[in-house]
Structure 1
């Protein structure tokens, strides 16, 4: 007979066992080490590095005149003008070695001039120094020149193998007069 008053023990479901969960930290340790390595490497890569510059043995820069090397004949200044023209002179414009030349870009223009001047300078200075004794080119883009002209002249520096060059946007009063007359 069934128990009608429910005072007796009823058949219940067995209690579930409480499990002690264990956390596996192996993956967290691996990720931690990977993050530490990543930040160490990225920190090392982001540090600024010094670059060796090919500067002449002696260089004197004043507000008006730049003198590089032992002789002003080693310095070639290129004024980038509009209409795809380059004005080239050697030494100082106040005391020019020769009259400034108006040249075009390309192998028969500025490239031919740079190759001949660099060869003359190297022949003149190879006995003086064991270091680079080629031409020192100062590139001065004018407001009329465009970005393509600057890229073209930098390509010419690479083609003619001129190691020492710089880009400056400061003009002497004589250079401003020269640019206005052309």
Structure 2
């Protein structure tokens, strides 16, 4: 690793022996590469947490089966971290209006389970999420997390309809 090289003067008088010190850095470089390799292999590479969205295949745009109002619940994600829901059609929503809740997973799961229990055909019960233009991405992700916590497999994402938008705008005023 380290070596001392002594040089002596040849010839006449030798005054003092000069010693030159040389350090071999090869083992240090090897140790550095071993440490880098060790830390690379022991580091946890985290996978991003993503939710798989089951999107429909391309094909006919005509609906194959229409879901009754009582077999679905619609959540409208609005501005200012507000969320509304309804389980009605165009005519009934004017009378009943939208109900408001928060993004607490317990509240959303309770609303979904109540709607599921009241559904006549539980096998086709569907959750519909309709974000407005003012909604932010975090609220949408929170809503999708709440749906996964409720353990419901049938859900969809759609645009808000004009009659829902009218009632929504009346609610936020």
> What TM bracket, shorter-length normalisation?
0.5 to 0.7
Structure 1 gaps, min length 5: 1-50, 54-58, 62-66, 127-131
Name the counterpart of 2:88: 91
Task: Give the whole-Å Cα distance in 2 for the aligned partners of 1:86 and 1:103.
Answer: 6
Residue in structure 1 matched with residue 18 of structure 2 by the alignment: none
| Cα deviation, residue 109, structure 1 | 2.9
Matches for 1:137-176 after TM superposition, within 5 Å: 137-169=127-159, 171-176=160-165
- Structure 2: runs of 5+ lacking an equivalent: 1-53, 57-61
2:110 is matched with: 112
Task: Tell me by how many angstroms 1:120 deviates.
Answer: 2.3
Matched-pair contact (CA < 8 Å) for 2:128–2:157: yes
Q: Distance in 2 between matches of 1:115 and 1:86?
A: 17
| Length, aligned pairs only | 112
Aligned to 1:178: 167
1:125 matched to 2:115:
no
Contact 2:90/2:163 (<8 A) preserved: yes
Q: Which runs of 4+ in 1 moved over 3 A?
A: 96-99
Which structure has the greater CA radius of gyration? 1
Report the CA distance shift for 1:90/1:150 in structure 2 as closer, same or farther (over 3 A): same
The structure with the largest helix share of the pair is 2
Q: Distance in 2 between matches of 1:83 and 1:110?
A: 18
TM-score by length of 2: 0.55
